[in-house]
Amino acid sequence: MLHFETYSTGAALNIDEVVDLYRASSLGERRPVDDLPRMLRMLENANLVITARQGEMLVAIARSLSDYCYATYLSCLAVRASHQRQGIGRELVRRTREASHPATVILLAAPQAVAYYPRLGMQHHPSCWTLKPNDTLL
C-alpha cells in the first residue's frame, strides 16, 4: 500500500471529481456518469463513503449503504486505473468493514473484478438476485 494517500470517511465531495474518478476507473462503464442529478443522489444517499486522495486528486472511493449491525452493501469501489494494484482498494474495503462492524460487507463484482475479491478473503455467494428498473415483477 502506498503511504502518500489521505483516507477520509464521510468527506464532502464535489460531484464532478467523483464522476471524473469513475471515468478514470472501469466503474464508469457501469454507472450513470452522464446523468449528474442521478450521480449526485447516489452520492448523497450513501451513508458510508470512504475516499483516498493523493494530494488534491480523488484517487478512490468506496460508497456503501449500511445499517451498521447486519449488512453493508458496498455498491461502488472505484480506484483510478493509474492507482490500481497499490493496495488502495484493499484499504478502502478494510476501512468499510471496520466502520460498519459487525455488519457483513456485500458487493456485486464488476465482470473484470471477479478475480480480485477472493484475493481479499471475500467469499463468493451464488444466490444473489437483481430486479432492474425496467424488469417486470411477476
User: Is position 135 within any domain?
Assistant: no
The reply to whether 132 falls in a domain is no
- Pairing, β 5-9 against β 48-54: antiparallel
Question: What are the average pLDDT values for consecutive 10-residue runs of the chain, which has 138 residues?
Answer: 75 92 91 95 96 95 97 96 94 97 93 88 91 94
With respect to residue 124, please indicate whether it lies within any of the assigned structural domains: no
Is 52 part of a structural domain of the chain?
yes
Q: How many domains does the chain have?
A: 1
Q: Tell whether 129 is covered by a domain.
A: no
Give the model's pLDDT for residue 11. Answer: 73
Q: Is residue 71 part of a domain?
A: yes
What pLDDT was estimated at residue 2? 47
Q: Is 79 a member of any domain?
A: yes
pLDDT at 3: 52
In a domain, 125, yes or no: no
Range of the domain at 22: 5-119
Query: Domain of 103: which CATH number?
Result: 3.40.630.30
